[in-house]
């Protein structure tokens, strides 16, 4: 890619140029070469204490894409500190998902609540809030969140399964069974969804 060649040439001429590494990192992100993006962005940050806040956001995003949630959280939190009131909503969304995967449920919930404050909540925001509430054993709030998600996306396997699980835990067995039956008729898109599908089929019997 021409942009990659140009930035590599610029870096060769000025190896202390933070901006060159930053632009190279963005180029690698566009190419979905996140491991190389991480390396370039870390170099850019190391070279300049005054680099723009977005360098930390893009590094956090690249680490998230690579599945490194611990480091993704670290750099997204630094981004938040540097961006202050200008923090983009996507940073809270990413942080929430990363905290969920690290089972830091209260922190995840705080992020998703912030997302819901900054923009009109989507079905995914309600879904993620529901997952956090469920993990915290705040079942009525989980129920409300999953129901809102389902109102917006009535045929999403993850939403249906999670709401059924909440109903089951609340002792609403008939409601739970109806939703497990509905979930069991859907098609899975991922290996994770296939597990939910199998469980739904068992519970729908």
Q: Given this model, what pLDDT does residue 20 score?
A: 87
36-64 pLDDT, tens digit per residue, is: 999 999 999 999 989 999 999 999 999 99
Residue range 95-108: average pLDDT? 97
Domain positions in the chain are 120-205
CATH number of 120-205: 1.25.40.10
3-state SS string for the chain: CHHHHHHHHHHHHCCCCHHHHHHHHHHHHHCCCHHHHHHHHHHHHHHCCCCCCHHHHHHHHHHHHCCCHHHHHHHHHHHHHHHHHHCCHHHHHHHHHHHHHCCCHHHHHHHHHHHHHHCCCCHHHHHHHHHHHHHCCCHHHHHHHHHHHHHHCCCCHHHHHHHHHHHHHCCCHHHHHHHHHHHHCCCCCCHHHHHHHHHHHHHHC
Q: Given this model, what pLDDT does residue 10 score?
A: 65
């Amino acid at each position: 890619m021409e942009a990659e060649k140009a930035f590599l040439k610029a870096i060769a001429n000025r190896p202390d140029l933070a901006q060159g590494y930053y632009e190279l990192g963005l180029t690698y992100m566009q190419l979905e070469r996140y491991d190389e993006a991480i390396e370039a962005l870390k170099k850019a940050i190391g070279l300049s204490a005054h680099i723009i806040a977005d360098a930390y956001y893009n590094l956090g995003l690249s680490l998230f894409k690579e599945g490194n949630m611990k480091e993704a959280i670290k750099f997204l939190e630094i981004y938040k500190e540097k961006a202050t009131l200008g923090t983009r909503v996507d940073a809270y969304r990413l942080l929430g998902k990363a905290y969920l995967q690290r089972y830091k449920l209260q922190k995840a919930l705080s992020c998703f609540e912030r997302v819901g404050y900054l923009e009109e909540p989507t079905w995914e925001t309600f879904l993620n809030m529901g997952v956090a509430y469920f993990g915290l054993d705040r079942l009525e709030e989980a129920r409300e969140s999953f129901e809102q998600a389902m109102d917006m996306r009535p045929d999403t396997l993850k939403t249906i399964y999670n709401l059924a699980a909440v109903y089951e835990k609340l002792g609403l067995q008939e409601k739970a069974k109806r939703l497990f039956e509905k979930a069991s008729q859907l098609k899975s898109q991922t290996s994770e969804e296939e597990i939910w599908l199998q469980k739904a089929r068992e519970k729908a019997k």
